[in-house]
Amino acid sequence: MNNIRVIIFDLGAVLLNINYDKTIEEFKKLGIKNSSSFYSKKEQTNLFNLLETGKISEEDFITEVRKECKCGSENKILSAWNIMILDLPKHRISLLQHLNKKYDIYILSNTNSIHISEFRKKIGETKYQEFYNLFNKVYYSHEIGFRKPNKEAFQLILDENNLIADEVLFIDDSPQHIKGAKNLGIKTYHLKDGEEVTTLFPDITL
């Protein structure tokens, strides 16, 4: 952590527990063919890119997914899409509370308004606001119009906050996102499946 002043966290699968397979399985139940290539951690159709950059509305997203379904009502589609959102462990909140005393901390997440609404509902509005306020700033792709690994997403954070790339650590679970950050000179850590983010900071007692 020498020379690091800033830490940028991914949200899903780093801080917030998620399970992509649950959504893939529910999409399959709705009759979507090749549901794992329709949407997964590694690949997805352009529909999801449009949703995650705020270029289509929630209503249009549901309409497009319904075209791929055999039996998809709006509620079933929303349920299938949101089922991947799990919990926000207390020990990770505690980690952030320690870190923000020493570092500037940010979130950069490829996400969408539907999932953020579900996240807020899941943990409750008060806890969500407390979590949100732990960060210097939160960057959600659907709000900023850019997704990782596109350089514009990272460059926006650097420029808006006058950050020096080699003083920034970016933590993410997707190798393609890690590569995008590295291309701008940002220091990175690829969090592997099943690896706990708190173990990266052994000097912090939770």
Per-residue pLDDT of 110-127, as tens digits, reads 999 999 999 999 999 999
CB 127 within 8 A of CB 159: no
Residues 56 and 114 both lie in one domain: no
pLDDT value at residue 170: 98
Place of tokens 């407390």: 130
Confidence of residue 55 (pLDDT cuts 50, 70, 90): very high
99 pLDDT exceeds 80? yes
pLDDT of residue 8: 98
Sheet holding 6-9, edge to edge: 137-140, 104-109, 6-9, 168-172, 187-190
Q: Could you give the CA distance from residue 153 to residue 157 in angstroms, rounded to a whole number?
A: 7
Give the per-residue pLDDT at 206.
Answer: 79
Residue 137 shares a structural domain with residue 69: no
Q: Is residue 205 part of a domain?
A: no
Chain mean position to CA 167 = 22
Q: Is residue 138 part of a domain?
A: yes
Considering the domain architecture, whether residues 168 and 184 belong to the same structural domain is answered as yes
- In-domain check, residue 60: yes
Contact 69, 81 (CB under 8 A): no
Among 58, 82, 106, where does a domain finish? Answer: 82
Residues, the chain, total? 206
109 located within any domain: yes
Query: What DSSP designation does 204 have?
Result: S
Range of the domain at 184: 6-17+87-200
Domain with residue 58: its CATH number is 1.10.150.240
Q: How many domains does the chain have?
A: 2
Residues 10 and 54 occupy one common structural domain: no
Domain ends where: 52, 82, 112?
Answer: 82
Assigned domain for 66 exists: yes
Determine, yes or no, domain membership for 1. Answer: no
